[in-house]
Structure 1
Amino acid sequence: MSDSESAETELPKRGQAAVADLISALNRIDGQLASREQRVADYVKANIDSISTMTIAELAGAADVSTPTVIRFCRSLGCDGFKEFKLRLAQNLAVSLQYIRPDVGEEPASMENSIDHVLAAIYATTNAMRKQLDPAQLELAKRAIVGSKQLLVAGMGGGSSVLAQEGANRFFRLGITSMAVNDSYILQMRAATLGREDTLLLFSASGETDAIVAAAKVAGAYGANTICISKPGSRLASVVSIPIVVDLPEDPHIFKPTASRYAYLAVLDAIAMSVAYETREETTENLRRIRSSLTAYHGRTAPQPLGD
Structure 2
Amino acid sequence: MAELILSRPHAVLSWSITEMSKLAETSDPSVIRLCRRLGCNGFPALKLELAQALAAAQQQPRRRTLAHGDDPVEAMMNDVLERSEEALRNARTDMQPVAVARAAETLAKARRIEIYGLGASGFLALEAQYRLSLLGLATVAYADPLVQGSTAPLLGKNDVVFAISFSGLTQYLVETVSLAKSSGAKVVSLSPTGSPIANLADTNIALNAYRKSDNFLASPPARLAMHMVLDVLCLAIVEQMSAIEKQ
TM-score with structure 1 length normalisation? Answer: 0.56
Counterpart pick for 1:104 among 39, 63, 68 = 63
Sequence identity percentage: 21
Question: In the TM superposition, what are the counterparts of 1:137-286 in structure 2 within 5 Å?
Answer: 137-158=99-120, 160-249=121-210, 252=214, 256-257=218-219, 259-280=221-242
Query: Alpha carbons of 1:155 and 1:104: their partners in 2 closer, same or farther (altered >3 Å)?
Result: same
> In the alignment, what sits opposite 1:303?
none
Per-residue deviation at 1:216? 1.3
> In the alignment, what sits opposite 2:98?
136
Query: Alpha carbons of 1:279 and 1:222: their partners in 2 closer, same or farther (altered >3 Å)?
Result: same
Q: Is the Cα contact below 8 Å between 1:175 and 1:282 reproduced in 2?
A: no
Per-residue deviation at 1:214? 1.1
Per-residue deviation at 1:278? 2.8
- Give the Cα–Cα distance (whole angstroms) in 2 for the partners of residues 251 and 110 of structure 1: 23
Q: Is the Cα contact below 8 Å between 1:229 and 1:245 reproduced in 2?
A: yes
- Give the Cα–Cα distance (whole angstroms) in 1 for the partners of residues 221 and 104 of structure 2: 24
- Over aligned residue pairs, what C-alpha RMSD do you find? 3.6
Amino acid paired to 1:104: R
Query: Alpha carbons of 1:102 and 1:276: their partners in 2 closer, same or farther (altered >3 Å)?
Result: closer
Q: Is the Cα contact below 8 Å between 2:55 and 2:217 reproduced in 1?
A: no
Q: Is the Cα contact below 8 Å between 1:102 and 1:254 reproduced in 2?
A: no
Amino acid paired to 1:190: T
SS of the counterpart of 2:205? strand
- Give the Cα–Cα distance (whole angstroms) in 2 for the partners of residues 170 and 125 of structure 1: 22
* Higher RCO, 1 vs 2 (CA within 8 Å, ≥6 residues apart): 2
SS of the counterpart of 2:219? coil
> Counting helix residues as a fraction of each chain, which structure ranks higher?
2
Amino acid paired to 1:112: E
Query: Alpha carbons of 1:281 and 1:174: their partners in 2 closer, same or farther (altered >3 Å)?
Result: farther
Query: Alpha carbons of 1:240 and 1:103: their partners in 2 closer, same or farther (altered >3 Å)?
Result: closer
SS of the counterpart of 2:209? coil
Q: Is the Cα contact below 8 Å between 2:61 and 2:218 reproduced in 1?
A: no
Counterpart pick for 1:123 among 85, 91, 116 = 85
Per-residue deviation at 1:239? 0.9
Question: In the TM superposition, what are the counterparts of 1:10-159 in structure 2 within 5 Å?
Answer: 87=39, 98=57, 104-105=63-64, 110-158=72-120
Larger radius of gyration: 1
Deviations 1:69-114 (A, max 9, x none): xxxxxxxxxxxxxxx99749x9699559959x98624669733222
Count matched residues. Answer: 198
Q: Is the Cα contact below 8 Å between 1:248 and 1:260 reproduced in 2?
A: no
Structure 1 unpaired stretches of 5+: 1-83, 284-308
